[in-house]
């Protein structure tokens, strides 16, 4: 028996071997950098110079830094508002599509479109829709007589925050709608019939049949939407670069700016903060939602 044949017959060793490539990649490019990054966050490493241990100095700096605090607020605001609106709109669309309306296929295809086009395209389209001089939204509102002056969508802090949220919602709704639709389609129509016989109103049927049974899909959507929101970078970067000033910066864009400026220690400390924020929100929530799901 050659070594190869012996290996082929040893199922445990073979199982390990099957997982080896994946394990190596995850360890090498995710886990090890995370560990190294955590260490780096305690040093004052800059571009071209290995760092010296500075303890919690980077975290103290981030804690006292007005830009970072604002970015943390923006990240949470952006994530919560966008996720809530995405969920409500997505559920509404899914419920519509689940009924037998006309042009269903066309409609589903149109909804899917923003998911497929590059973020860059969405970003540029929005950058333009929100343009101070050429905005189509302003143009329409002026023509309809609602406003007399063009809105500066990206030029002032609150407008910039809300505009980026709008862009995120448009990009995220397809995923929410289609996932919830898949959940809705697993609900047996006989349940609704039984509910109708028992005299349940439309609202009661929605609350007591639809919502509990669509829970697994909801869990997926909520968790992924929150993770995506907390880590979001590309849309915001392409649209505002965190501007005007630093008012629409999120944690991920602050990390990128510090990285670009060469403050590696500070940048990785920011990354650790982001990891902690994501974990604090996602881990308990996913445990909670999964328990609800299995009970339901």
Partner 1 sequence: MKRRTRDIVAGVVAILVSIVVFLVPFAFIVINALKDVRESSDRSFALPTTWHLWDNLVEVLSTRDYMLVTAFINSIILTVGSVTLLVVFGAMVGFVLQRRPSRWTNIINFFVLAGLIIPPAVVPTIWVLQGLGLFKTLHGMILIEVAYGLSFSVLLFRAFIATVPRELDEAAIIDGAGPIKLFFGIVLPLLRPVVVTLIVTQSVAIFNDFTNPLYYLPGNKNVTLQLTLFNFQSQFNTSYNLLFMNILLITIPPLIVYIFFNRQIVAGLTAGAVKG
Q: Which residues 254-293 are close enough to bind partner 1 by CB under 8 A?
A: 255, 259, 264, 267-268, 271, 274-275, 278-279, 282, 290, 293
| Burial bucket for residue 168 (CB in 10 Å: 0-12, 13-18, 19+) | buried
CB of 99 to partner 1, least distance (A): 7
The residues that bridge with 46 in the sheet, in sequence order, are: 49
Query: Rounded to whole angstroms, how far apart are CA atoms 170 and 135?
Result: 17
CB of 206 to partner 1, least distance (A): 15
Burial of 118-149, coded b for 16+ CB within 10 Å and e otherwise, reads ebeebbeebbebbbeeebebbeebeeeeeeee
Stretch that binds partner 1, among 69-77, 118-126, 149-157, 190-198 (CB under 8 A): 118-126
Look-up of token digits 């910066």: 249
Contact between residue 236 and residue 161 where contact means Cβ atoms under 8 Å apart: no
Look-up of token digits 């697993």: 186
* Cβ proximity to partner 1, 50 vs 157, nearer residue: 50
CB of 278 to partner 1, least distance (A): 6
CB of 69 to partner 1, least distance (A): 19
**Which of 117, 132, 147, 280 forms a contact with partner 1 (CB under 8 A)?**
117
- Encoded one letter per residue, x for contact with partner 1 by CB under 8 A and - for no contact, window 1-30 reads -------xx-xx-xx--xx-xxx-xx-xxx
CB of 272 to partner 1, least distance (A): 8
Stretch that binds partner 1, among 70-78, 147-155, 203-211, 225-233 (CB under 8 A): 225-233
Query: Rounded to whole angstroms, how far apart are CA atoms 246 and 103?
Result: 45
**Which of 88, 124, 132, 280 forms a contact with partner 1 (CB under 8 A)?**
124
Count of positions (residues) in the chain: 296
* Closest by CA position to 67, among listed 265, 266, 272, 280: 266
Look-up of token digits 């929101």: 229
Longest dimension (CA), the chain: 87
* Cβ proximity to partner 1, 110 vs 194, nearer residue: 110
CB of 148 to partner 1, least distance (A): 20
* Cβ proximity to partner 1, 157 vs 282, nearer residue: 282
**Which of 1, 3, 66, 116 forms a contact with partner 1 (CB under 8 A)?**
116
* Residue 43, phi then psi, degrees to nearest 5: -120, 170
| Burial bucket for residue 210 (CB in 10 Å: 0-12, 13-18, 19+) | buried
- Number of shown-chain residues binding partner 1 (CB under 8 A): 92
* Closest by CA position to 254, among listed 278, 238, 237, 239: 237
* Cβ proximity to partner 1, 157 vs 227, nearer residue: 227
* Cβ proximity to partner 1, 82 vs 93, nearer residue: 93
The residues that bridge with 49 in the sheet, in sequence order, are: 46
**Residues in region 65-94 near partner 1 by CB under 8 A:** 93
Say whether residue 112 binds partner 1 (CB under 8 A). yes
**Which of 183, 195, 229, 242 forms a contact with partner 1 (CB under 8 A)?**
183
Tokens of 219: 């869990």
**Which of 59, 61, 107, 206 forms a contact with partner 1 (CB under 8 A)?**
107
CB of 196 to partner 1, least distance (A): 13
């Amino acid at each position: 028996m050659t070594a190869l044949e012996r290996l082929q017959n040893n199922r445990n060793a073979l199982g390990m071997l099957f997982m080896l490539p994946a394990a190596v990649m995850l360890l090498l490019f995710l886990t090890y950098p995370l560990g190294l990054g955590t260490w780096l966050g305690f040093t004052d490493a800059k571009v071209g110079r290995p760092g010296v241990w500075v303890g919690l100095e980077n975290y103290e700096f981030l804690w006292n830094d007005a830009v970072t605090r604002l970015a943390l607020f923006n990240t949470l605001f952006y994530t919560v508002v966008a996720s809530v609106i995405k969920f409500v709109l997505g559920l509404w669309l899914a419920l519509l599509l689940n009924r037998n309306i006309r042009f269903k296929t066309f409609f589903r295809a149109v909804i899917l479109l923003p998911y497929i086009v590059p973020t860059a395209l969405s970003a540029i389209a929005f950058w333009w829709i929100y343009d101070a001089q050429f905005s189509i939204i302003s143009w329409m509102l002026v023509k309809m007589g609602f406003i007399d002056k063009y809105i500066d969508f990206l030029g002032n802090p609150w407008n910039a925050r809300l505009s980026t949220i709008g862009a995120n919602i448009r990009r995220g709704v397809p995923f929410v709608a289609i996932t919830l639709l898949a959940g809705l389609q697993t609900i047996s129509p006989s349940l609704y019939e039984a509910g109708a016989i028992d005299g349940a109103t439309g609202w009661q049927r929605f609350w007591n049949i639809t919502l509990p049974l669509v829970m697994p899909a909801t869990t997926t959507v909520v968790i992924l939407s929150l993770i995506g929101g907390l880590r979001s970078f590309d849309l915001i970067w392409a649209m505002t670069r965190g501007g005007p000033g630093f008012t629409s910066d999120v944690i991920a864009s602050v990390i990128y700016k510090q990285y670009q400026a060469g403050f590696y220690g500070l940048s990785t400390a920011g990354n650790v903060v982001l990891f902690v924020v994501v974990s604090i929100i996602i881990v308990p929530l996913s445990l909670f939602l999964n328990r609800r799901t299995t009970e339901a």
